[in-house]
Amino acid sequence: MSSPTAAIDCGTNTIKLLVTGASGETLAREARMVRLGEGVDATGRLSPDALQRTFAAIDEYALLVRHHGVRRIRFCATSATRDAENAEEFAAGVATRLGVRPEVLTGEEEAALAFAGAVEHLGLDRNPDGDVLVVDIGGGSTEVIVGTAGRSTPRAACSMDIGSVRLHERHLRLDPPGRREIEAAVADIERALDDCPFDLAGASTVIGVAGTITTVAAGVLGLASYDREAIDRQVLAAADVREHVTRLVAMTVAERRALGWMHPGRADVIGAGALILSGVLARCQASSLVVSECDILDGIAASLAA
């Protein structure tokens, strides 16, 4: 019998772990907000503090990996480490702690894993009808991926250098953000979407994955606290999502932190990520957004089982 496997997704804001048993059952699922990409857009380097926070989380994950007897680990790093001059320092620290070096995914690889994780989870890989657009908003980049519902491999993908942390650091310095700051962020988003090589309006189904979108969904649903099971597979009216984004962006960080469903580590940057979501939905003809709690992490885990 094969031993448990561990998938790790290290993004700009969050590092996530999924340990899967030999029969495919989930043994552990963890997430830590470490803000690895803090300042990378401006400096081009991973800061000592960001590395320290991330390595502390990896130390915790290493204990879990050993506890569950994991022998195969796939550690994937995304936007922040693609852009950092000192990525080798990060890679060496990961290797010391886990015995594997991180794979720095291209935007296209990241998109394919996110598409597979979302589409297979929702069962759309067994539904042959219609185009599916998957939207994955990270801290440093945003991926939009289009494919046919009956296939878990996407047809086209676009990775854009706009994410919740990156846009927040570029534009949203006031608390709450000023009108001109919001306009500058929206203009940045629109430029990125204009450069996307395919039309977002053609998809009959739009799926949103990852923390920015699931957090916005919690707010649209009016949850008292963040509830993964209550959020997963929800179908939300696009108009309701965009209306909620407008309210969320206008709040102060303190007001956002007071929301029961808001992770305190996301409260400062959620406005920028929410603006990206609103911009994407404005270009889609679909009237609703399907929310999936399965994302790139699940795609990485599936690749280990293949």
Digit-coded pLDDT (tens) for 91-127: 999 999 999 999 988 877 888 888 888 887 777 655 5
CATH architecture of 5-104: 2-Layer Sandwich (3.30)
Q: Is the pLDDT of residue 204 over 90?
A: no
Q: Where are the domains of the chain?
A: 5-104, 117-296
Largest CA distance in the chain: 59
Digit-coded pLDDT (tens) for 122-167: 776 555 567 889 999 988 889 899 987 666 678 889 989 899 999 9
* pLDDT computed for residue 126 by the predictor: 52
Give the SS3 label for residue 89: helix
User: Mean pLDDT, the chain, as a whole number?
Assistant: 90
Q: Among residues 46, 123, 49, which one has the least CA distance to residue 77?
A: 46
* pLDDT computed for residue 125 by the predictor: 54
Q: Is the pLDDT of residue 279 over 80?
A: yes
CA distance 8 to 90: 14
CATH superfamily of this structure's domain 117-296: Exopolyphosphatase. Domain 2 (3.30.420.150)
Q: Identical fold at 5-104 and 117-296?
A: yes
Which of 116-120, 132-136, 224-228, 250-254 bottoms out in mean pLDDT, i.e. has the lowest? Answer: 116-120
